[in-house]
């Protein structure tokens, strides 16, 4: 049996042809799937016979909501249970410009960043494209809303699950489905250089966010094991390549950790390293997790860091902390329930 949410229209067309059904039904089926239905009998414009046939080949995963926590600012954090019992997190954020959803791409993560709760139990498995889509459909249905933006910033390293993530992007971008424009999608990576280049060559118009968190290799290696494999020069070259291929501005994520990467010297060094790259720096006060001792710098130090960047010609903003009253640090909810 196959999860039907994993199928693009083209794949559905081929499948239907293979079982001697009309190809044009694929679009109808695809549209129904993206309304969030979980029962083939809800596809009321298909014959009973075809619905019965679909049930013998496919299933639709009905993810159960294990817990849901709503913040005063409208952020809602979900813990969803997959068919095999794995738990994954996703978060709904409401902005003036629309609803954004932060999705998980893997159950756990193998990258080992020292400040991140998602990696503490390691990687369990990759999520399928259908399981990424399922997170959106579950929230859309639960809240009765439309989703306008997607950020791949939940648990997992998206570029460590390259094929499924690209498949998911093409499915959500299809005008017959939930139809989210590539420019409304952000993919965040810890910096897997070969995959960044591969992504650049696809020339999708998504926003690429790089979790940088350090102005040099010494600090980066201390907090992100991936830096031992790909140095900063190599990573920034891949970023330049991405901007050349796509004409898209890169976002650099920089989580400020007191005494680790938040000094004025760090800010000047960062500005020097990013000079000439079409980019924006997103400064995030670290969200402390139970298992580690990182702390946020105070407000003055955060502002000072930003001022050094902007006065050096680097576009920088401090990220508003959404959902801070509901334990929003990535991976914490899942961790607590494991």
Residues 185, 149: Cα–Cα separation, whole Å? 6
**Beta carbon nearer to ligand SF4, 135 or 155:** 155
**Beta carbon nearer to ligand SAM, 13 or 160:** 160
Please, which residues have CB within 8 angstroms of residue 295's CB and are 6 or more apart in sequence? Answer: 257, 258, 259, 286, 288
* Side-chain half-sphere CA neighbours of 308 within 13 A: 18
* Catalytic hit among 90, 239, 279, 330: 330
Binding residues for [4Fe-4S] cluster: 109, 113, 116
Residues 232, 249: Cα–Cα separation, whole Å? 18
Interface with ligand SAM in residues 11-40 (CB under 6 A)? none
Please, which residues have CB within 8 angstroms of residue 269's CB and are 6 or more apart in sequence? Answer: 215, 216
Residues 297, 67: Cα–Cα separation, whole Å? 31
**Beta carbon nearer to ligand SAM, 172 or 330:** 330
E strands within 203-333? 207-211, 250-256, 279-285, 316-318
Instruction: Determine whether 330 is an active site residue.
Output: yes
Residues 8, 105: Cα–Cα separation, whole Å? 18
Picked from ligand SAM, ligand SF4, none, the partner binding residue 195 (CB below 5 to 8 A depending on kind) is none
Nearest approach in angstroms of CB 330 to ligand SAM is 4
Helix (H, G, I), strand (E, B) or coil at 58: strand
Nearest approach in angstroms of CB 21 to ligand SF4 is 41
Helix (H, G, I), strand (E, B) or coil at 245: helix
Work out whether the CA dihedral 104, 109, 111, 112 comes out positive or negative.
Answer: positive
Binding-site size, ligand SAM (CB under 6 A)? 17
> Which x/- pattern, by CB under 6 A, does the window 276-295 give for ligand SAM?
--------x-xx-x------
CA distances from 299 to 145, 304, 330 (A): 35, 8, 22
Residues 128, 241: Cα–Cα separation, whole Å? 28
What is the DSSP-derived secondary structure letter of residue 252? E
- Contacts with ligand SF4 by CB under 6 A lie at 109, 111, 113, 116, 118-119, 155-157, 190, 211
Binding residues: 109, 113, 116, 156-157, 188, 211-213, 287
**Beta carbon nearer to ligand SF4, 108 or 215:** 108
Stretch that binds ligand SAM, among 7-15, 110-118, 131-139, 268-276 (CB under 6 A): 110-118
**Beta carbon nearer to ligand SF4, 155 or 246:** 155
Helix (H, G, I), strand (E, B) or coil at 277: coil
Instruction: Determine whether 89 is an active site residue.
Output: yes
Picked from ligand SAM, ligand SF4, none, the partner binding residue 153 (CB below 5 to 8 A depending on kind) is ligand SAM
211 binds ligand SAM (CB under 6 A): yes
* Catalytic hit among 13, 21, 61, 89: 89
Binding residues for S-adenosyl-L-methionine: 156-157, 188, 211-213, 287
List the one residue from 13, 21, 131, 157 that touches ligand SAM (CB under 6 A): 157
CA distances from 107 to 13, 137, 156 (A): 30, 18, 7
> Which x/- pattern, by CB under 6 A, does the window 115-134 give for ligand SAM?
xx-x----------------
- Residues designated catalytic: 89, 330
The contact set with ligand SAM (CB under 6 A) reads 115-116, 118, 153, 157, 188-190, 211, 253, 255, 284, 286-287, 289, 329-330
């Amino acid at each position: 049996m196959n999860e039907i949410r994993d199928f693009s229209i083209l794949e559905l067309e081929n499948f239907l042809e293979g079982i001697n059904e009309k190809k044009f039904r694929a679009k109808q089926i695809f549209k129904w799937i993206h309304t969030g239905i979980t029962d083939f009998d809800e596809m009321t414009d298909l014959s009973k016979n075809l619905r019965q046939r679909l049930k013998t080949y496919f299933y639709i995963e009905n993810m159960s909501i294990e817990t849901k926590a709503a913040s005063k600012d409208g952020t809602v954090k979900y813990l969803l249970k997959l068919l095999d019992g794995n738990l994954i997190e996703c978060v709904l954020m409401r902005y003036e410009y629309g609803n954004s959803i932060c999705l998980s791409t893997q159950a756990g993560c193998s990258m080992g960043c020292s400040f991140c709760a998602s990696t503490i139990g390691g990687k369990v498995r990759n999520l399928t494209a259908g399981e990424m889509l399922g997170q959106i459909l579950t929230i859309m249905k639960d809240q009765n809303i439309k989703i306008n933006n997607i950020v791949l910033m939940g648990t997992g390293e998206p570029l460590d699950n390259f094929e499924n993530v690209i498949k998911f992007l093409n499915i959500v971008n299809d005008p017959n489905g939930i139809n989210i424009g590539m420019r409304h999608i952000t993919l965040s990576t810890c910096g897997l250089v070969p995959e960044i280049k591969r992504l650049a060559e696809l020339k999708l118009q998504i926003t690429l966010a790089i979790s940088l968190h350090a102005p040099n290799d010494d600090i980066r290696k201390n907090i992100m094991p991936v830096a031992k494999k790909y140095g900063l020069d190599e990573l920034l070259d891949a970023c330049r390549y991405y901007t050349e291929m796509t004409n898209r501005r890169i976002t650099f994520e920089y989580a400020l950790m007191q005494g680790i990467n938040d000094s004025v010297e760090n800010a000047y060094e960062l500005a020097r390293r990013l000079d000439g790259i079409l980019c924006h720096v997103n400064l995030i006060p670290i969200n402390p997790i139970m298992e580690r001792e990182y702390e946020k710098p105070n407000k003055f130090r955060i502002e000072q860091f930003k001022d050094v960047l902007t006065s050096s010609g680097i576009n920088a903003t401090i990220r508003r902390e959404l959902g801070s009253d509901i334990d929003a640090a990535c991976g914490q909810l899942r961790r607590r329930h494991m």
